Structure 1
Amino acid sequence: MGKKSNAKKGSHRGAGPAKLLPQTRGELTVIVDNVFKRCTKVPPAATPSPAQEWAEHLEIYKLIEKIREIEKDIQLPEYSRLEQVAPFMAWLGEKDVTVSGVEVADYGTLGLGLRTCQNLKQGEEVIVVPKEAMITEETARKSYLGPLIERDPILQHMGNVCLALHVLGEYVSSISSWHPYLRLLPACYTTTLYFTPEHYQALKGSPVLYEAVKQFRNIARQYSYFYRILHSSPEAKSWPIKDFFTFDAYRWAVSTVMTRQNRIPMEGGSGQLALIPAWDMANHEQGIYSTAFDEEGRGCLCLAQRDYSAGDQFTIHYSKRPNTEFFLHSGFTDPDNKNDSLPIKLGVSKNDPLNQEKVALLTSLGLPASGAFMLVPGQHPISPGLLAFTRIFCMDKDSLAKWKEDGEKARGLMHEDCDVGTTVEDKTWAFLHTRVSLLTRAYLTTIQEDEVLMEGASGLDALLRSQLLCEKRILKDAATYLASRTTK
């Protein structure tokens, strides 16, 4: 005899979501409470070691996997994306969205995108999306989730979480006016929220590992927090989101918002997050900003960022962000990213006898006493902030006094050709060279091994290898440059 299912299954496709048996629901609630406690417990006074943080992540991950197993029969409806293109285009017309010279096309591993149907000139208007067609924090407050949003501190202060719940609620609603748009969205994403422990372990040595683990922990905490609300609040009994609210569903909604959200102006406020149909179908390409928001009524205006020939993929420039941000929040990397950087965490020890003098000089330059300083791609990989910090870090008392006397002159510490004296200069380049060497050796694989592993990789495997290669190429350029400086 087989194992009993954890859920009662509907007898036909339109029967709604599967229902958990009462005993199973009770077991699930106990595990959810455990997740919430682990994710919200007060950290110890001493900073936990990387090994302790990893062990805690594994415990949370195991609990989430138990939750996913129990919830496996509660599935969101899925739709063929290509079959949804025609209804989506018709819906855009009904919503007065203007789409000129482009059409939805399948770009394989890149997913759906936009393809030009005609030649386009740079600056030509291509997409216009009125605010009424967007899913926003404002529409969330006007939905049945409005009363919860008004009283919940997390939803009031975290627009992205508010939007994620709203998106999920509209997706499962039987009467949502955004169905043609939402049903065109991907069924899953290449964000780090879908990583397994093996994926996380492959990132050892990378500065994004800690951020990716923290992101997973945050989503686990949010899921457990809202699960408790949806299954304890009397008003939630009639909400369609309640029966579909699983970890997988929430992860999907969060990934949808993370990879597509943009901030638009809001009357009387600093702005609000929004999903912008049609415009968000365009994939990223290095270039210039070509999107604006017409506050007088037209909404989001998207222009061609360059000349396009008919049949080209129509792209937009997302923003000047490093690959770490694209990797963590958008689920892709750009190997040709001119704005890429790799953070190095450095700090002046509180036990340093010259701590006060060094901190004072750093403060005068607008630099922190501890934080992340950047390596960048190219022939000059040491960013001005990193160079100035390291020089000050390596100074003795006399050098610090000399530079403190002339605040304007001190800004020269950010330039490579600044004369700081042979001793400080030699220490600076030697320190950076050693640091880059240590960072390079901290990875589990070499750049050559990653290049081999990248061949034939797809999905999450390709994503993490691409990120590792981007990081290691910056380190390689930095090592080459620093080696030349230390041998002069």
Structure 2
Amino acid sequence: MGKKRNAKKATNRNAGPVKLLPQIRGQLTAIVDDVFKRCTKVPPAVAPSAAQEWAEYLEIYELIEKIQDLEKGMCGTRHVRYPAPDVYSDRSSGTLYVLAEGEKNNGPLIERDPILQHMGNVALALHVLGEFVNPQSSWQPYLRILPSTYSTTLYFTPQQLQSLKGSPVLEEAVKQFRNIARQYSYFYRILQSSPEAKSWPIRDYFTFKAYRWAVSTVMTRQNRVPVKESSGQMALIPAWDMTNHEQGIYSTDYDNEENCSVCLAQRDFKAGEQFSIHYSQRPNTELFLHNGFVYRDNKNDSLAIKLGVSKDDPLHDEKVALLSSLGLPSAGSFMLIPGQHPVSPGLLAFIRVFSSLDKWKDDGEKAKGLLHEDCDVGTTVQDKTWSFLNIRVALLIRSYPTTLEEDEAALPTLSGVDSLIRSQVICEKIILRDAALYLTSHISK
């Protein structure tokens, strides 16, 4: 059973907030400005190659390392003792007050800032950080027992990320680090330059390490709860957020009458057995990136294949229109999935349109059948479809530096992040292996 132990387990707990030393702020600000410029530069007309994106990531990572070296010169503000073991008593249904208290402290920033207006998870991360640095916060016992680090890719070194070579998740991990570096530099500049920021509790404690921790805390634990006149608000639910994931049914709800979250058992649990919940239907890529674990037998797993209609294609407009009528983008990620039919409907339809447009461009009703494997598209189009996918899958398999067999043999000898990375790669390769067998069987018919 896949668990989030990697994400939730830590060798040490949070020892309390640390404060930026005034004498390093000038030097720190100069490096932060450099990070911000690199993370917000206008993208080139031609999309950068994977090698260029990796080189830019390394430059940003090195700057973040310099920032963290400077931020090590800090002092603690108080002695912190470990909390009592019953810190969750009578608190699990009051989580929304965390958000309300956070808004009191950071209200002006939230009211004005476009990022915080539209990204509830970022706003919640700042709320969490505000409560963390406030010694009078009633949430201190809860925050102090949270892990001090996480196994999300935000904590990976470049060497560890390189172990993902060939994996589609590598690009996503690099983008995620870049996004968090951009957010950190963006808010640091606001906190150090805005006159109003002098009264904001997080100003003197806003380090990259602290922001990464707050973001990771929210990313691995957030839940959406109803709020009047709103689609919902992101919140942390103490105790509930310690529950591990298991394949099953979604069994969480919200009781509007009692104004509290409700967790129902998704199956029978014996006395002494670990209680688990089903997070939702997420592929391992999302669990790996945002939760820091991989579920080996994930029925909702998938592997992305990036495809797009070339702008130079003479039938570009017609293909885009047909894809749009099917609810598909003209460029994006299309999925291979586990099971007996590994080619997802979207991927199948895209390749069919890509291979031969003439048959369906003038018949919208007939075109809808392209999403179904048993649609009669003719031998020529079918052969083109399977051959194209077979070649693409073979190329993806060869892009990894190791084989599935080598990964399976090495996994028992690994631990920590190395084991996590290898588990993710194994899950991807199993999907590719099964897809290759499926496609080969169809081509030979």
- Tell me if both proteins adopt one fold, taking TM over 0.5 as the criterion: yes
In the other structure, the counterpart of 2:57 is 57
> Do the aligned residues in 1 keep the contact of 2:309 with 2:331 (CA within 8 Å)?
yes
> Do the aligned residues in 2 keep the contact of 1:85 with 1:184 (CA within 8 Å)?
no
* Paired residue secondary structure (1:185): coil
Alpha-carbon distance, 1:238 to partner: 4.3
Alpha-carbon distance, 1:69 to partner: 0.8
* Paired residue secondary structure (1:343): strand
> Do the aligned residues in 2 keep the contact of 1:78 with 1:183 (CA within 8 Å)?
no
> Do the aligned residues in 2 keep the contact of 1:135 with 1:274 (CA within 8 Å)?
no
Code of the residue aligned with 2:150 in structure 1: it is Y
* 135 and 262 in structure 1: CA distance in 2 versus 1, 3 angstrom threshold: farther
In 2, Cα distance between equivalents of 1:236 and 1:353? 55
In the other structure, the counterpart of 1:364 is 325
Among candidates 118, 137, 152, match of residue 191 of structure 1: 152
Code of the residue aligned with 1:292 in structure 2: it is D
In the other structure, the counterpart of 1:160 is 121
Per-residue CA deviation, residues 148-168 of structure 1 (Å, 9 max, x unaligned), is 211222222211111111101
Residue pairs, 1:31-42, within 5 angstroms = 31-42=31-42
Matched, 1:416 2:377: no
Matched, 1:435 2:396: no
In the other structure, the counterpart of 1:86 is 85
> Do the aligned residues in 1 keep the contact of 2:16 with 2:144 (CA within 8 Å)?
no
In the other structure, the counterpart of 1:43 is 43
In the other structure, the counterpart of 2:95 is 133
Among candidates 287, 300, 303, match of residue 339 of structure 1: 300
> Do the aligned residues in 1 keep the contact of 2:166 with 2:396 (CA within 8 Å)?
yes
In 1, Cα distance between equivalents of 2:113 and 2:316? 43
Identity of aligned residues (%): 67
Per-residue CA deviation, residues 263-287 of structure 1 (Å, 9 max, x unaligned), is 1111011111111112111111011
Code of the residue aligned with 1:266 in structure 2: it is V
* 349 and 308 in structure 1: CA distance in 2 versus 1, 3 angstrom threshold: same
Residue pairs, 1:349-360, within 5 angstroms = 349-360=310-321
* Paired residue secondary structure (1:65): helix
* Paired residue secondary structure (1:325): helix
Alpha-carbon distance, 1:418 to partner: 2.0
In 2, Cα distance between equivalents of 1:351 and 1:431? 19
Among candidates 194, 213, 233, match of residue 194 of structure 2: 233
Residue pairs, 1:309-458, within 5 angstroms = 309-395=270-356, 400-458=357-415
In 1, Cα distance between equivalents of 2:133 and 2:273? 35
* 75 and 461 in structure 1: CA distance in 2 versus 1, 3 angstrom threshold: farther
Alpha-carbon distance, 1:221 to partner: 1.1
Matched, 1:475 2:437: no
In 1, Cα distance between equivalents of 2:400 and 2:428? 10
Per-residue CA deviation, residues 68-121 of structure 1 (Å, 9 max, x unaligned), is 1111243778978xx5461413xx23x3xxxxxxxxxxxxxxxxxxxxxxxxxx
**Which stretch shifts more, 405-414 or 245-254?**
405-414
* Paired residue secondary structure (1:434): helix
> Do the aligned residues in 2 keep the contact of 1:258 with 1:330 (CA within 8 Å)?
yes
In the other structure, the counterpart of 1:461 is 418
Alpha-carbon distance, 1:444 to partner: 2.1
**Which stretch shifts more, 146-155 or 157-166?**
146-155
> Do the aligned residues in 2 keep the contact of 1:75 with 1:244 (CA within 8 Å)?
no
In the other structure, the counterpart of 2:66 is 66
* Paired residue secondary structure (2:276): strand
> Do the aligned residues in 2 keep the contact of 1:291 with 1:301 (CA within 8 Å)?
yes
In 2, Cα distance between equivalents of 1:78 and 1:386? 57
* 252 and 234 in structure 1: CA distance in 2 versus 1, 3 angstrom threshold: same
In the other structure, the counterpart of 1:280 is 241
* 310 and 16 in structure 1: CA distance in 2 versus 1, 3 angstrom threshold: closer
* 351 and 239 in structure 1: CA distance in 2 versus 1, 3 angstrom threshold: closer
* 334 and 204 in structure 1: CA distance in 2 versus 1, 3 angstrom threshold: same
Matched, 1:206 2:206: no
Per-residue CA deviation, residues 380-403 of structure 1 (Å, 9 max, x unaligned), is 1011111111112111xxxx3433
Code of the residue aligned with 1:54 in structure 2: it is W
In the other structure, the counterpart of 1:147 is 108
* 60 and 296 in structure 1: CA distance in 2 versus 1, 3 angstrom threshold: same
> Do the aligned residues in 2 keep the contact of 1:199 with 1:461 (CA within 8 Å)?
yes
* 453 and 339 in structure 1: CA distance in 2 versus 1, 3 angstrom threshold: same
> Do the aligned residues in 2 keep the contact of 1:263 with 1:271 (CA within 8 Å)?
yes
In 1, Cα distance between equivalents of 2:225 and 2:336? 32
Larger Rg: 1
Code of the residue aligned with 2:284 in structure 1: it is N
Alpha-carbon distance, 1:16 to partner: 7.5
In 2, Cα distance between equivalents of 1:78 and 1:444? 48
**Which stretch shifts more, 423-432 or 199-208?**
199-208
> Do the aligned residues in 1 keep the contact of 2:102 with 2:130 (CA within 8 Å)?
no
* 26 and 357 in structure 1: CA distance in 2 versus 1, 3 angstrom threshold: closer
Alpha-carbon distance, 1:332 to partner: 1.1
In 2, Cα distance between equivalents of 1:74 and 1:424? 65
In the other structure, the counterpart of 2:6 is none
* 74 and 449 in structure 1: CA distance in 2 versus 1, 3 angstrom threshold: farther
Gaps spanning 5+ residues in structure 2: where?
Answer: 1-14
Would you say how many aligned residue pairs link Structure 1 and Structure 2? 430
Per-residue CA deviation, residues 332-384 of structure 1 (Å, 9 max, x unaligned), is 11111101111111122222233233233322222222211110011110111
Code of the residue aligned with 2:442 in structure 1: it is R
CA RMSD of aligned residues (A): 2.1
> Do the aligned residues in 2 keep the contact of 1:447 with 1:473 (CA within 8 Å)?
yes
Matched, 1:246 2:207: yes
Code of the residue aligned with 1:314 in structure 2: it is F
In 1, Cα distance between equivalents of 2:377 and 2:79? 63
